[in-house]
Amino acid sequence: MYVISLDLGTSGFRSQLIDLEKKDTIKTVVTMGHPLPGGNVMDHLDFAINTGVDVAHGIIIETVGVMLQKFDVDPDKIERIAVCGNPIQLSLFQNIEIRDLAYAGKSKQASLGVENVNRDARIFAANEIFKGIFEMGNCEIIIPPAIKHEIGADALAMMLETDFMAQKEPCLVTDYGTNAEMALKIGDKIITASAAAGPAIEGQGISCGMLAGPGAISDVNVEGDYWRLTVIDSSMNPAKGPLVDPVMGNEIEGSDIVPKGITGTGVISTIALALKEGLIEKLPELPNGRLVLGPGITITDKDVEEAGKAIGAIRAAHMTLIVDSGLKYEDLKYSYMSGATGTYVDANKARRIGSVPDFCENIIQFGNTSLGLARKIALDRAKLDEVIKIAQKIKADHLMMASSETFKNIYMCELASWQNGMPTEMYAQMLEMYNLPVYPKTLTDVNIEKKVVRDIDDVGYLGLDVVADIGITLEAPVVKCTLCHKCEKECPEDALVIVDKDGERFVNIDSQQCLGTSCRRCVVVCPEQTMNHSLLRVK
Ligand code: SF4
Ligand code: SF4
């Protein structure tokens, strides 16, 4: 018999087939992107609310169905699937209420009748949601509990799958992703938060960006007069890539592995190295406006600015958690990093640009903690009871960054440095002006430990299968369409096409490629105002 672990991330899904008896990983399947339009949780929420939770749920289940087929096993031999993710992804997967997650205010939730939505652990038959898609007669699905409303199973996973809970010293854990979850622990007190870092932290929204997958540049280092690229190979291991001259744009020495794009950690490394080597004198300006890492792979000033928004949001959220909890910066002793970006990034470079505190003595890098927790529960059903008990014991407070004055002020300083090159001295003066503590000195002697070499430590003996094109098309009628094709030309992702079926006109949109709410250029450009995304349905 088999069990499956499934991590529903904001930027893509990851799943593993595991032999229940031998406990060996057989195969790993990942998607390169999320199947819903948009690159962050707010886009996904907005799509689900406006287009329908049923539609969003259907897209997610169809995608997971594609992944399950890739395992190529008898569906009746799958005994259990354990699923981890943030509350939005887990709610859409189960097709349960999500409006409470969109509206933080209690009075708004009360007016909608969506207060206190139950997100306890749940076990149910797989065929409740997979009937007609990928039927599994003997399979149950296990969803771990949320700690409370906004603190989901992914936050629970990052606390349980690192040393965070056992640590006696003040410590911070961050699951680096499009929505960076984080928690600070001081004695028994835990305060959670999340920073809407945006897709740049995982390489999306960057001109040559891609998610952490085969062919992605994950690190860059100086070698002689040039830069050596590290590129993720087909087994998700960091491998030696080409040697390049990033300023002149030449490849000095080739390699077996050809880079296809750059992931979030590669962007962090590139910026950190460019700062160290004096190639950036004032942020965000690069020599000639760009650095070249390979044929057609460049990092531009605009990319640096985009990455700065993400890195600045994470740094500001870390500082806000520390300041608002009354801890002194210097008293933070441990920082745990999880998620793909938290695993592959060179921690020293992350310290240099501020995505992990440079005043913390110990930095420890873990892998994909969500998939790790899902695996444990899938292999041992009793583990769920243990997780439920721990979740009930965790008395976590949640700090909303959106309403924190501290966050607002620090984030303004971050944006001023990333976008306008505000010098460090002025940053310090601004903090003083806002009555915020002085930023401490950067520590030079720190302990950095990497617990795993790749975010999915063991991809299994059948290896990794990457679903690059999920292949879900959404369709909506465009009744007044005159076939002017302005919407097609306007789409930055080439994600839509207008089709004419015997005089009836429809828009077809590639769900995975569409940028969703944050774009809407096709809606705005339509002279007939006939494009309505709320009418989209799976074709
Ligand atoms: S133009 Fe329309 S279809 Fe294209 S990415 Fe933007 S919202 Fe999606
Ligand atoms: S812009 Fe509007 S009218 Fe023109 S092709 Fe697109 S949907 Fe039709």
The answer to whether position 220 is within a domain reads: yes
Same domain, 138 and 175: no
- pLDDT tens for 37-57 read 987 888 899 999 999 999 999
Same domain, 272 and 196: yes
C-alpha torsion sign, points 91, 92, 96, 100: positive
Q: How would you classify residue 184: left for phi > 0, otherwise alpha for psi between -120 and 50, otherwise beta?
A: beta
Determine whether 362 is exposed, middle or buried from the number of CB atoms within 10 Å of its CB (0-12, 13-18, 19+). middle
Pocket flag, ligand 2, residue 484 (CB < 6 Å):
yes
How confident is the model at residue 200, as a pLDDT? Answer: 62
Same domain, 113 and 261: no
Rounded to an integer, what distance in angstroms lies between the CA atom of residue 436 and that of residue 215? 43
Judged against a pLDDT cut of 90, whether residue 457 lies above it is answered with no
Same domain, 108 and 204: no
H helix intervals, 298-450: 301-324, 339-344, 347-353, 369-379, 382-393, 405-420, 424-433
How confident is the model at residue 199, as a pLDDT? Answer: 61
- Stretch among 134-148, 394-408, 413-427 having the lowest mean pLDDT: 394-408
Judged against a pLDDT cut of 90, whether residue 206 lies above it is answered with no
Please give the DSSP secondary-structure letter assigned to residue 148: B
The answer to whether position 149 is within a domain reads: yes
Please give the DSSP secondary-structure letter assigned to residue 149: T
Query: Residue with the nearest Cα to atom 3 of ligand 2?
Result: 481
How confident is the model at residue 237, as a pLDDT? Answer: 84
Same domain, 428 and 462: no
76 to 126, 139, 406: CA distances (angstroms): 11, 7, 53
Same domain, 183 and 226: yes
State how many domains the chain has.
Answer: 3
Q: Is 456 helix (H, G, I), strand (E, B) or coil?
A: coil
- Stretch among 146-150, 227-231, 294-298, 301-305 having the lowest mean pLDDT: 146-150
The answer to whether position 450 is within a domain reads: no
**CA angle 45–51–53, rounded 5-degree value:** 60
Same domain, 463 and 510: no
* Percentage of the chain lying above the pLDDT 90 cut: 76
- Mean pLDDT computed over 157-164: 94
How confident is the model at residue 264, as a pLDDT? Answer: 86
- Mean pLDDT computed over 361-378: 94
* 513-538 per-residue burial string, b: 16 or more CB within 10 A, e: under 16: bbbbbebeebeeebeeebbbbebbee
- Mean pLDDT computed over 348-377: 94
Pocket flag, ligand 2, residue 530 (CB < 6 Å):
yes
Judged against a pLDDT cut of 80, whether residue 203 lies above it is answered with no
Pocket flag, ligand 2, residue 447 (CB < 6 Å):
no
Q: Ligand 1, from 50, 485, 490, 522: best to mutate by most atoms within 8 Å of Cβ? A: 522
What is the phi/psi pair of residue 524, to 5°? -65, -40
The answer to whether position 449 is within a domain reads: no
127 to 1, 80, 135: CA distances (angstroms): 17, 12, 6
Please give the DSSP secondary-structure letter assigned to residue 286: P
Determine whether 504 is exposed, middle or buried from the number of CB atoms within 10 Å of its CB (0-12, 13-18, 19+). exposed
Taking the CA of residue 520 as reference, the ligand 1 atom at the shortest distance is 7
Same domain, 241 and 358: yes
How confident is the model at residue 55, as a pLDDT? Answer: 96
Domain span at residue 184 reads 162-365+404-439
Q: Which of 274, 263, 280 is nearest to 208 (CA)?
A: 263
Mean pLDDT of the chain: 92
- What pairing do the DSSP bridges indicate for beta strands 171-175 and 180-186? antiparallel
- Mean pLDDT computed over 205-217: 83
- pLDDT tens for 402-426 read 889 999 999 999 999 999 999 999 9
- Mean pLDDT computed over 441-462: 90
Q: Concatenated DSSP letters for 170-224?
A: -EEEEE-SSSEEEEEEETTEEEEEEE---GGGGTTTSTTB--SSTTEEEEEEEET
- Mean pLDDT computed over 78-94: 95
Judged against a pLDDT cut of 80, whether residue 175 lies above it is answered with yes
Tokens matching residue 65: 């169905």
Q: Ligand 2, from 479, 491, 528, 529: best to mutate by most atoms within 8 Å of Cβ? A: 528
The answer to whether position 451 is within a domain reads: no
